[in-house]
Amino acid sequence: MRRTLSARSTTSSLLFALLFLALPTSAARRPRYGGMLTIDLQARVTSLDPAQKQGTVADQIVQEQLLRLIADRLVELGQLGQPKPALAISWQHNDKFTRWEFHLRPNVKFQDATPLTPQPVIDSLQAVNPTWRVSSANDSVIVESDSPLPELSCILAEAQNSILLREPTGEVIGTGPFRLTTWEPGHHAVFAANDDYWGGRPFVDGIDVQMGRTVRERMIDLDLGKADIADVAPDRARIDASRGVRISASDPTELVALIFSRSSTRAKDIRIRQALSLAIDRSSLVDFVLQKEGAPAGALLPQWSSGYEFLFSTAPDTAAARQITSQISPAHALRLGYDADDSMERMIAERIAVNAQAAGISISVRAIGIDSPGGAANHAANHAADVPEYDARIVRLSMCSPAPEVALGDFLQTLAQLADLDPSLTAPLNDPINPGQLHSRERAVVDTYEVIPLVHVPEVVGLSARVRDWIPARWGAWHVADIWLDGVAP
């Protein structure tokens, strides 16, 4: 849910100018330059290079958010998810979607004054998409693939396809609205406004990013005005809002799901997976665990993205689950794992255990990760016994794109690695595909009960009072360049 309004457009600027002339007393609402934007984050990003994958989904999301500060993509997505020009001002493709040609925006320079040419684009895209054939023709970049890439324009809008110069030192340089001035991996980063940004200089002079901040530290910093933006766990959003914190939540962009382990023998019977899916009260997860910041998930994609999620039932049916359970009488408790550092996953896992117990399924909840108490020991013990340390685990999958085809394709690609799904179900969505086909593919995946969608979760941030024009994309992408700070001397 968005609670702030966009304020950076020509029309609005004119409107502001008129209002400034007519209503001198409203001058405080006029965007102004200057000020240092401070961001507190729980995540610890160790590199801004998208080729360096982060440890957790949260870290990955923050890496993409920070990457958007320093780098641009060839294509951006509009509020409705439609592609719009960025570093590429236009593009065309052949009929089979196997060859795309992007015309680069002229007069764009990297932050080290290197002009944007096709070669850095080729290097950037080829680095993260090795199956593509990326080349140039004049000032254009050509992307070719053996398989059709109907959603390439949306894919190129993903953060991982940012256009970067990679220095031998590992430093990355982009064309974005900010340039990196200080970088302490996992702890601290300082960005300065890129005065030569092709889209216009950002309002704020710079951004100070503190990473690895605890919930308490983030809230204190927000209260004391030491932070302007801080990420907020969805399940705390209501509490923080009740304390007067400005909360901004995107549409649900993250899927929290339960995935059964490939090597688990205790959940090989589809009936126990089905019974567990029927037993889970997803609404309660949203109401109590997420404090209403989210939506019950019956499918992989959220309703706002796919438009058909309502066709997937999310209502619990404990009686039916119990009936199934009575037929199979599971002998062993299922071991449900969760990320030891994620309190929301823990709460969801514990709630599932309670729901399952009511349906006659015994579940033992355990933390996964060497940082968790006993995690390493459990891992070692289970490794020694050559058994998985869990039969199922909670996973969080972030939508890489608002486009359902892209997001589902990304989900399926991830699930192919995590779940025991038939390869045909996780095959790439190469051909142009309509919503009906997407629904069928999702239905086929969900009906295996190897993956049980639980909830869709938004990205939530807390804002200080001086932050103005915070207008993130509905799928959570920050537009920091549009932010200006109230009360800052020009």
Partner 1 sequence: MSFRLKMFVLFPLVVVAAVAIVSVGVTVFTRRAFERLDSSHTDAIVSQFQREFASQGQRIVRGIQDISGSEATLNMAIHLNARDIDPSAYGHDAVSVASDHHFAFLEFAGNDGSIISSMQWPARFGYKETWLLQRADWPAHGAFLQKVDTPDGPELGLIAVSVLPVAGSNLYTAGGERLDKSFLSSLSLPPGMRALLYVNLDANFSAQNLTAVDGPAPQADRFAPLVARELQQPGEITATVHWTPDAASDEVFHLLPLLGPDKNLLGVLFVGSSRHDLVLLERDIRRLALLVGGIALALGILLSWWAAVRVTRPVAKLVTGAQEVASGNWDARVAIHSRDEIGTLAGAFNQMTGQLAEQRERLIQTERVAAWRELARRLAHELKNPLFPLQITVENLRRAREQHAADFDEIFRESTDTLLAEIQNLKTIVGRFSDFAKMPRPELHALDVNEMVRGVTRLFEPRFIAPGEPKITTELHLDEKLPLIQADSVLLHRAIGNLVLNAIDAMPNGGTLALRTVAHDSGVRLEISDTGAGLTREECERLFTPYYTTKLHGTGLGLAIVQSVVSDHGGRISVSSEPGHGTTFRIDLLERPPNVTSIDSVSVKSKKPAEPVLERKV
Which residues in this chain contact partner 1 in the complex, by CB under 8 A?
Answer: 238-239, 281, 284, 287-289, 291-292, 347, 350-351, 353-354, 358, 365
Looking at beta carbons only, is 345 or 389 nearer to partner 1?
Answer: 345
Rounded least distance, CB 454 to partner 1, Å: 13
Rounded least distance, CB 292 to partner 1, Å: 6
Rounded least distance, CB 349 to partner 1, Å: 8
CA–CA dist 212, 23 (Å, integer): 44
Looking at beta carbons only, is 284 or 313 nearer to partner 1?
Answer: 284
Looking at beta carbons only, is 176 or 294 nearer to partner 1?
Answer: 294
Residue 468: Cβ-neighbour burial (10 angstroms; 0-12, 13-18, 19+): buried
Looking at beta carbons only, is 60 or 355 nearer to partner 1?
Answer: 355
Looking at beta carbons only, is 119 or 242 nearer to partner 1?
Answer: 242
Rounded least distance, CB 359 to partner 1, Å: 13
Rounded least distance, CB 394 to partner 1, Å: 13
Rounded least distance, CB 440 to partner 1, Å: 34
Q: Work out the angle between the directed axes of helices 343-358 and 234-242 (0-180°, nearest 10).
A: 110
* Residues ≥6 apart with Cβ < 8 Å to 373: 340, 367
Q: Which two tokens stand for residue 40?
A: 């507190």
Looking at beta carbons only, is 146 or 287 nearer to partner 1?
Answer: 287
Rounded least distance, CB 236 to partner 1, Å: 9
Looking at beta carbons only, is 20 or 288 nearer to partner 1?
Answer: 288
Looking at beta carbons only, is 88 or 344 nearer to partner 1?
Answer: 344
CA–CA dist 445, 415 (Å, integer): 10
Q: How big is the CA angle at 117 (ends 112 and 123), to the nearest 5 degrees?
A: 90
Rounded least distance, CB 75 to partner 1, Å: 40
**Which among 273, 270, 258 is positioned nearest to 345, based on CA atoms?**
258
